Structure 1
Amino acid sequence: MKGQLRDLAVDVKVVLGGLWATTLLVFAYVDLFGFYRADLVRGVLAGEVGGFVVDQVFLVLTTLYVAVASLMVAVSLLAPARFNRIANIVVSLFYAVTAGVSLAGETWAYYIVGISIQMALLLLITRVAWTWPRNT
């Protein structure tokens, strides 16, 4: 029918890359919004974040934590299917667990909502990778 919109299938690699990019945006904004909280700002100024001392080791480990998730965008788009599928399942589940742990004792609604969205996206990544289409 003329004028009807055509919906094209999107390659699983593009879907995974897009989900990782979206997850990273939510991740970044939740952390940025934390700087509107006086309790977190006071902790940062005192050199502490979530009970951890902010030092070289903490910052390197935090950088590596963020870098792995960031690199998953490229892995999702460029890696061969078999490695890609395994990497997406393992890494998304790892991040879902660590995100869930970060909710322990949290009372701020923005954080709970943001981390819940992040966890939903990560579990969706797991599902998409788990159900990766196979050749018939």
Structure 2
Amino acid sequence: MNSPNTSRSDQDRPVNPRIVLATLWTTLLMLYLYADVLSLYVPGHLNEMIDGYMGPIVASQTSLMLAAVLMTLPSLMIVLSLVLSYTANRRSQIGLGALYTLVNVGNVIGEDWLYYLFFGAVEVVLTVSIVVYAVRWRVGKH
């Protein structure tokens, strides 16, 4: 049902690609967060963290800095999706979308917890969607 201030054509307008891409990155980060929070409930996981491990990786200045960079890039892509020029935006979407597809695949290798495999599969779908959407994005087309 249309509200008095909304026409049918307003409802059918395509969404600006920048908003779609920013939303995909936001959704990806939310899934990363929820997967990490749920991981706290995996038996033994907290003890591994207390002992200084991030999965099989020893927590160190270097590993924690790399993890920080790994999570900062998609965070920045939310705002960069909205402000970068078309060319820089499209290239960064394709490049980082492909990189994070590989990261997400790598994260589930050897994993046997179903919730984590589920999150990983959805994350791969999102990052592949970012790449496909950016590849298909043309100037002036929504």
TM range (shorter): over 0.9
Residue 104 of structure 1 is matched in structure 2 by 109
For 1:76 and 1:27, the matched residues in 2 are separated by 19
Structure 1 residue 39 displacement after superposition: 2.5
Aligned counterparts, 1:76-115, within 5 A: 76-115=81-120
| Other-structure match for 2:23 | 18
Cα RMSD (Å) of the superposition? Answer: 1.8
Query: What is the rounded CA distance, in whole Å, between the counterparts of 2:66 and 2:140 in structure 1?
Result: 39
Match of residue 60 from structure 1: 65
Structure 2: gaps of 5 or more residues = none
Uncovered stretches (5+) of structure 1, i.e. residues with no partner: none
Return the offset for 1:107. 0.5
Given the two structures, how large is their TM-score scaled by the length of structure 1? 0.93
Percent of residue pairs identical = 26
Give, as a single letter, the amino acid of the residue that structure 2 aligns with 1:33. L
1:135 deviation in Å? 4.9
The aligned residue for residue 139 of structure 2 is: 134
TM-score, scaled relative to structure 2: 0.89
Q: 1:9 pairs with 14, 27, 42, which one?
A: 14
